Amino acid sequence: MKKLPTIRRREVAVQADELIREGALSPGQTLPLVLRPSSSVGDIDLLGWVGDHRRELEEKLGRHGAILFRGFEVVSTDQLQDLIRAASGELLEYKDAATPRSRVDGNVYTSTSYPASETIELHNENCYAAAFPLKLFFCCLDAAEEGGETPLADSRRVLEAIPEGVRRRFAEKGVLYVRNFFDGLGLSWRDVFGVGDVAGLETFCRDSGIEVEWREGGHLRTSQRRPALARHPGTGEVVWFNQAVAFHVSTLPQEVRERLLKDFGPEGVPKTTFYGDGSPIEDETLAALRRAYGEATVAFPWQEGDFLIVDNLLASHGRRPFRGSRKVVVGMSEAVEGSQVWIEEAREA
């Protein structure tokens, strides 16, 4: 297993700000900020540098929304976990899951297990949950032969690009997330909520503000109303922070979507969203939201060894289709209570 490179001994002292240079993936692009080794310095103790510059990285992350470390050969889950602890603290367990992923090592997980031919729409991780991670850490262990980018969109720019009427409706109503759990179809409620029995489920949901309903035939339906906007705990900025689009049944491939709607109806599909009052989100509204995401989106091909920090409130992420093998792992840190950042009142939007 490879270890992080270390700084070679030199006869002259090197200033910390000479070790790493800042840049962008393309001229004028501020998301993500790119950090690379300075060509004049040699090998760098990245772990030590990150620990020494934790406050500085916080400030840069607040401005840019994401930071890409490229050229540092982060090629193992051990390295990733050490870097997360140095930059942010202990890793979080993944609970209240919306999509399947597998534990790789400790609290490092695979990225979402989804067919390579399909797109994962932009979303803020676990934003529907009572508590969610402030920071996400991605590491590319194996870059796809083609495609497989993890696009990013600045949540501040997304909010600005949404038509005022649409923004106002969501600010007033919020988003209702509905799930139906059927044996053999999608994730089980035990996997989603990380519990082993009905008592544990009901306790978790009660503590998390999730309504539980046992439907005809014994299948479980859960629903949770959450605000669509949040105020960043560090920068104070208002951001678009929800999965109204990514959680919606319309994200599924057409054939799958039509079959599920035919079999279960719009309220019985495995997962979907509505306005917070339970009314359907119009097709034209979903289209407007997708356009807003599109205007704010940037994407770049992964390189093996890339290490990416994403502020989960300031930037949404997704995944593009790919060909060949691809292994991007992720860790999360710094739990944020939704009640501390959600914006409930429309006047704050």
Q: What angle do CA 330, 335, 341 make, to 5 degrees?
A: 120
Return the pLDDT at 152. Answer: 98
Return the pLDDT at 283. Answer: 97
Q: Which has the higher per-residue pLDDT, 336 or 344?
A: 336
Residue 228 domain-assigned (yes or no): yes
What is the average pLDDT across 20-35? 93
CA-to-CA distance for 46 and 74, rounded, in angstroms?
9
Question: What is the tens place of the pLDDT at every residue in 193-210?
Answer: 989 999 999 999 999 999
Q: What is the rounded radius of gyration, in angstroms, for the C-alpha atoms of the chain?
A: 21
| Nearest CA-CA partner of 278 in 132, 177, 201 | 177
Residue 174 domain-assigned (yes or no): yes
For the chain, give the mean pLDDT. 90
CA-to-CA distance for 170 and 158, rounded, in angstroms?
14
Residue 212 domain-assigned (yes or no): yes
329 membership: H or E segment, kind and range: strand 327-337
Residue 148: CB atoms within 10 A of its CB come to 23
Residue 77 domain-assigned (yes or no): no
| Nearest CA-CA partner of 72 in 6, 149, 1 | 6
Contact status, residue 57 vs residue 234, Cβ threshold 8 Å = no
What is the average pLDDT across 97-110? 77
Range of the domain at 173: 158-291
Share of the chain above pLDDT 90, in %: 78
What is the average pLDDT across 128-141? 97
Residue 66 domain-assigned (yes or no): no
Residue 169 domain-assigned (yes or no): yes
CA-to-CA distance for 335 and 317, rounded, in angstroms?
18
The domain that contains 186 carries what CATH number? Answer: 3.60.130.10
Structural domain total, the chain: 1
Question: What is the tens place of the pLDDT at every residue in 276-286?
Answer: 999 999 999 99
**Each residue of 99-124: b (16+ CB within 10 Å) or e?**
bebeebeebbbebbeeeeeeebbbbb
State the greatest distance between any 2 C-alpha atoms of the chain, in Å, as a whole number. 76
Question: What is the tens place of the pLDDT at every residue in 69-92?
Answer: 999 999 999 999 999 999 999 999
The two structure tokens encoding residue 46: 């990245």
Return the pLDDT at 19. Answer: 83
Residue 40 domain-assigned (yes or no): no
Is the pLDDT score of 10 beyond 60?
Answer: no
Residue 203 domain-assigned (yes or no): yes
Is the pLDDT score of 346 beyond 60?
Answer: no
Write down the pTM of the prediction: 0.90
